[in-house]
Amino acid sequence: MSDCLIEANQLSKTYQMGKVGVSALKKASFTIQKGSFTAIIGTSGSGKSTLLNLLGLIDHPTDGSLTFKGLNVNQLSNYEQTKIRAENIGFIFQSFHLVPVMNILDNVMLQLSFSKKDKKQRKKTAIQALNSVGLGTYLQHYPADLSGGQRQRVSIARALSKDPDLILADEPTGSLDSKSGAGVLDIFKALHKRGKTIIIVTHDLEIASIANQQLVLKDGELLETNTNDVEQLKKYYYR
């Protein structure tokens, strides 16, 4: 059985701005192996968010193909893509996207609303996920009661609750102080050791250096490198 989770072949995305087409991603080809830790890096406007949205099946490519778990995404209906996104992909956002009027237990349980589990099972799963990120004693707290680092841990627990094949994280430490960011990064390291497949978008080359694969974007074009040397990454990043 292949260890390849994702295969992108000449993946492209063009946005239509009036009569002008803007190429946000240009013929990117790469593979993501199961259990790998991949960092997508690049300056603002390089195409990082576009690529992440395509990998998360939030957006559709203009050209090229994307394969997820052996399925050609281009050939799937919107419903089938939504089902994959709901069951197989966990999303972690820089701005957390928590529901402020719900406590953190309900926030995580909300992620499981479309699962086949009954309410008791959903609650048990949500508690386990929150325990795994060190928030088992905060179940009844609301997002406003928590620090930025704790809210990001809730976001991670929410993503983990459905035991996804893929975790996509968009600048997960970008709005955190250094101490909170380091704590969140430790969680990602632990998840990787557990065999989770992680793709993280980051501006931080130190974070990128701990990944075992780096996808460097510049003006929508992909430069692929597999180095953990920060100085070498800088040469790609600023080239």
DSSP 17: E
* High-pLDDT (> 90) share of the chain, %: 59
Residue 207 has pLDDT above 50, yes or no: yes
Distance CA 209, CA 151 (A): 25
* High-pLDDT (> 70) share of the chain, %: 98
Distance CA 34, CA 164 (A): 12
- The pLDDT assigned to 43 comes to 84
- The pLDDT assigned to 229 comes to 78
pLDDT in tens, 116-171: 788 899 999 999 999 999 999 999 999 999 999 999 999 999 999 989 999 999 98
| In contact, 30 and 224? CB cutoff 8 Å | yes
Which domains are assigned to the chain? Answer: 4-237 (3.40.50.300)
Residue 17 has pLDDT above 90, yes or no: no
- The pLDDT assigned to 2 comes to 63
pLDDT in tens, 72-120: 999 999 999 998 998 899 999 888 889 999 999 999 999 888 777 888 9
Task: Residue 16: count other Cβ atoms within 10 Å of its Cβ.
Answer: 9
- The pLDDT assigned to 204 comes to 82
pTM, entire model: 0.89
Residue 224 has pLDDT above 80, yes or no: no
Q: Which two tokens stand for residue 181?
A: 């960011």
Q: Which two tokens stand for residue 7?
A: 């295969």
- The pLDDT assigned to 1 comes to 42
